[in-house]
A and B are shown apart, each in its own frame.
Chain A
């Protein structure tokens, strides 16, 4: 079965530290890829998405992600985190032809002021 793995379940960083959250999916065909953020007590919001083209995607709030097809990965990065980035981050995949969003288990990021 197709799946999305986020290996970092909890990440704690100090402000200004760099961030990289891993996301791997298990499917060899065409995919659309997304990162969503869920701030405490709130709903999910789209950070960025990749459908095709340049594999380096820039999103909101200084986040970016890189699609590496050979590694089935779509890692999220931010060069300098802020306290306000404290949230849960979800990677998601839609596999072409299935029309089903598959979410990873999420990574809880805590940024210390």
Chain B
């Protein structure tokens, strides 16, 4: 059983399109995150949710909108995709806001 699963694993799309990435965790964790990893492997937090409530929203363009329908899911919707959005996006969950994080396999987004 995959603890944190993301779909799709790869996403290639044209500039201007809207796309979504889904994330589900079956660990019973209260906290979920979205991270962006750029081509230099730098990891930056984008959003953090606790019990479906947004806790952290870093300086992310409002083209990015997270949605948490329940504690086990945190989806990421991106409008009007730009070339600079190309990166690997990781979903993660943790048992508490300060606990160790479990990461999904990542979604490699390529905007052409």
Question: Is B33 a contact partner of A88 (Cβ separation < 8 A)?
Answer: no
Question: Is A99 a contact partner of B42 (Cβ separation < 8 A)?
Answer: no
Q: Report A36-95 residues with CB < 8 Å from chain B CB.
A: 36, 38, 42-46, 49, 88, 90, 94
Instruction: Pick the most buried of A32, A45, A101, A106: most chain B CB atoms within 10 A of its CB.
Output: A101
Q: Does A2 contact B (CB under 8 A)?
A: no
**Contacts A88-B41, A108-B41: A99 and B106 contacting too (C-beta < 8 A)?**
no
| Residue interface bits B54-68, CB-to-A below 8 A is 1, else 0 | 011000000000000
Chain A residues within 8 Å of chain B by Cβ, number: 22
Question: Is A99 a contact partner of B55 (Cβ separation < 8 A)?
Answer: yes
Give CA–CA (A39, B25) in the complex, Å: 21
Which of B45, B48, B100 is close to A34, meaning CB atoms less than 8 Å apart?
B100
Question: Is B56 a contact partner of A100 (Cβ separation < 8 A)?
Answer: yes
Give CA–CA (A43, B106) in the complex, Å: 6
- In the complex, chain A residues whose CB is within 8 Å of the CB of B97: 94, 99
Q: Report B14-54 residues with CB < 8 Å from chain A CB.
A: 33, 35, 40-45, 48, 50
Q: Does B105 contact A (CB under 8 A)?
A: yes
Q: Which partner residue on chain A sits nearest B41 by CB separation?
A: A106
- Smallest beta-carbon distance B65→chain A, Å: 19
- In the complex, chain B residues whose CB is within 8 Å of the CB of A102: 45
Give CA–CA (A43, B35) in the complex, Å: 12
Give CA–CA (A101, B103) in the complex, Å: 13
Question: Is B103 a contact partner of A45 (Cβ separation < 8 A)?
Answer: yes
- In the complex, chain B residues whose CB is within 8 Å of the CB of A44: 43, 90, 92, 101, 103
Name 14 A/B residue pairs within 8 A (Cβ), A-sorted.
A32-B98, A34-B101, A36-B103, A38-B41, A43-B106, A46-B101, A88-B41, A100-B56, A101-B45, A103-B35, A103-B44, A106-B41, A106-B42, A108-B41
The 10 lowest CB-CB distance pairs between A and B, nearest first, are A99-B97, A103-B43, A43-B103, A44-B103, A106-B41, A43-B105, A94-B98, A46-B100, A49-B100, A32-B98
